[in-house]
Amino acid sequence: MPLPPGPVTRPSWRNLLRLRREPLAFLPALAHQYGDVSAFMVGPVPIVLLNHPDYVRDLLVTHEWNFVKGPGLERTKRLLGEGLLTSEGELHRRQRRLAQPAFHRQQVETFASTMVDYAVRTRERWADGQTVDVLHEMMRLTLAIVGKTLFDAEVEAEAGEIGAALTEAVESFVTFASPITLVLDRLPTPRSRRFARARARLDDTIFRMIDRRRALGSARDDLLSRLLQAQDADGGGMSDELLRDEAMTLFIAGHETTANALTWTWHLLSQAPAEEARLHEELDRVLGGRLPALADVAALSYTEMIFTEAMRLYPPAWIMGRRVVTEHHVGGFRLPRNAVAVASQWVMHRDPRFYPDPEVFRPERWTPEARAARPRFAYFPFGGGSRLCIGEPFAWLEGVLVLATIAQQWRLRGVPGHRVVPQPKITLRPKGGLPMTLARR
Ligand code: HEM
């Protein structure tokens, strides 16, 4: 069986360079030129891009046992350790079982009023005509929500510092690290020193939250209490280090992605007056000036379609990679052992076979009928299979409630002359933030 087709004759450093410098152009071009399974070499390692929903299902669900997250995660592990996002095998299964109850829909729904409360704080802090960095504002908001709901802690005041540390940590990641960068990471270069400082700053907040909860002693219902209880019940099975890793993972995974999704949503809305007007019509009709609450979410269907469409065009998790454990066959091609299989939300979500006029922001793509006519894995902002995002119900609820609460009072407008450029790091962020001007409705 042949290897997948691709630019194999090009020197591999040129592939790596293009992948590093302009992955958002390189990957779609690869899929366009070579089809649903394509490959290129990075050093001795074939990287295989799977670009059909059936093949993504194969990777994430049907044959997931034949793939591991693997060494690609080494850099992420330096920040997140062995938390849910990065651990594998038995450790992952055990920790996932432990955390899962805190993320069931009914549990997550109890967070609705907190989500609205914090969105209200944001909208009340804003002034008409003011220009703000919307990415920063959304990070601050989602950070406060995660701090309160999962850790019962007030962290909003620290948001500036935490945000800066997080940006520093994220900026120092490159998506595809070569063996050389991994070695360089261990040397005291300015970049690795900046990363160490950022990690220490984030650790400081996490350890403070853990200490405070231990001191309080009483069992509460938030996630951190559950993890602490599990640690006790285990007779020390979960080390302090692992507790730190889980808390850090949820703290970061629980706000960075949602903040990016919301930021892109404001950007898209500012360029789509008809869709924005329809959103306002829905909010005025359903809420009649009241604050949104859990009971309104089902009726805010257009609001949800807008959030869905925004994550199609700008998926915060824009690529996922797995290492092949034993030789695997997909679409008539051979994926050798240790090859890296990649599925990219960025590429799939803009595939004209599933989304005609893919560049156009069109929330109507997400009516129940249109959705049902599309393969499941033509849209996978939250991944799939046993590693499906544990926070998915949390993110949907938060996305809809925050959008509704803020759009009820504010329109956000782009700043003339500012070019919005997606920056594909671990998550897809607008490069340099997103300045927007606030206009009261
Ligand atoms: C729009 C928001 C979000 C997006 C787009 C997103 C996306 C994803 C994706 C794609 C994965 C799978 C990664 C992989 O398999 O390689 C994932 C995993 C994960 N996400 Fe999210 N996420 C979001 C919000 C959240 C929230 C709100 C939380 C927590 C409160 C969270 C916590 C996690 C955790 C812990 C994992 C690892 C799950 C596991 O492997 O067992 N995420 N997320």
Residue 360 in this model has a pLDDT that exceeds 90? yes
Q: How many other C-beta atoms can be found within 10 angstroms of the C-beta atom of residue 197? A: 13
Q: What local confidence, expressed as pLDDT, does residue 74 receive? A: 73
Fold designation for 12-440: Cytochrome p450 (1.10.630)
Tally the C-alpha atoms within 13 A of residue 93's C-alpha that lie toward its C-beta.
Answer: 3
CA of 259 to the centre of ligand 1 (A): 13
Q: Is 383 in the pocket of ligand 1 (CB under 6 A)?
A: yes
Q: What local confidence, expressed as pLDDT, does residue 109 receive? A: 94
Say if CB 406 and CB 140 are below 8 A apart.
no
Q: What local confidence, expressed as pLDDT, does residue 223 receive? A: 78
* Greatest CA separation for the chain: 63
Structure tokens at 97: 């079982």
For 34, 39, 324, 328, 339, the CA distances from 4, given in Å and listed in that order, are 9, 6, 14, 12, 11
Q: Is 390 in the pocket of ligand 1 (CB under 6 A)?
A: yes
The most confident of 21-30, 212-221, 272-281, by mean pLDDT: 272-281
Q: Whose CA is nearest to atom 43 of ligand 1?
A: 389
Which among 151, 263, 389 is the best mutation to test ligand 1's pocket, defined by most ligand atoms within 8 Å of the CB?
A: 389
Q: Whose CA is nearest to atom 41 of ligand 1?
A: 387
User: Amino acid identity, residue 64?
Assistant: E
What does the alpha-carbon distance between residue 42 and residue 49 come to, in Å, rounded to a whole number?
13
E strand segments, 12-97: 37-42, 45-50, 67-68
Q: What local confidence, expressed as pLDDT, does residue 434 receive? A: 97
Q: What local confidence, expressed as pLDDT, does residue 271 receive? A: 97
**Residues 6 or more apart in contact with residue 216 via CB below 8 angstroms:** none
Say if CB 271 and CB 257 are below 8 A apart.
no
Which ligand 1 atom is the nearest neighbour of the CA of 394? 27
Q: What local confidence, expressed as pLDDT, does residue 268 receive? A: 98
Poorest-pLDDT segment among 87-101, 175-189, 291-305, 367-381:
175-189
Q: Whose CA is nearest to atom 23 of ligand 1?
A: 257
Alpha helices in 111-178 (DSSP H): 112-125, 134-151, 159-171
Q: Is 283 in the pocket of ligand 1 (CB under 6 A)?
A: no
Alpha helices in 271-300 (DSSP H): 273-287
CA of 316 to the centre of ligand 1 (A): 10
Alpha helices in 349-413 (DSSP H): 368-372, 392-407
Higher pLDDT, 182 or 156: 156
Residue 209 in this model has a pLDDT that exceeds 60? yes
Q: Whose CA is nearest to atom 15 of ligand 1?
A: 387
Which among 257, 388, 394, 397 is the best mutation to test ligand 1's pocket, defined by most ligand atoms within 8 Å of the CB?
A: 257
Which ligand 1 atom is the nearest neighbour of the CA of 103? 30
Domain layout of the chain by residue ranges: 12-440
Which ligand 1 atom is the nearest neighbour of the CA of 399? 1
What predicted TM-score, i.e. pTM, was given to this entire model?
Answer: 0.94
105-123 confidence digits (pLDDT tens): 898 999 999 999 999 999 9
For 50, 306, 438, the CA distances from 59, given in Å and listed in that order, are 9, 28, 43
Average pLDDT, rounded, for the chain: 90
Q: Is 261 in the pocket of ligand 1 (CB under 6 A)?
A: yes
Share above pLDDT 70 across residues of the chain, in percent, rounded to a whole number: 92
Q: Is 162 in the pocket of ligand 1 (CB under 6 A)?
A: no
CA of 96 to the centre of ligand 1 (A): 12
43-74 confidence digits (pLDDT tens): 788 899 999 999 999 999 999 999 998 766 77
What's the pLDDT band for 10 if we cut at 50, 70, 90?
low
Q: Is 76 in the pocket of ligand 1 (CB under 6 A)?
A: no
Q: What local confidence, expressed as pLDDT, does residue 215 receive? A: 82
What's the pLDDT band for 412 if we cut at 50, 70, 90?
very high
258-301 confidence digits (pLDDT tens): 999 999 999 999 999 999 999 999 999 999 999 999 999 999 99
Residue 181 in this model has a pLDDT that exceeds 70? no
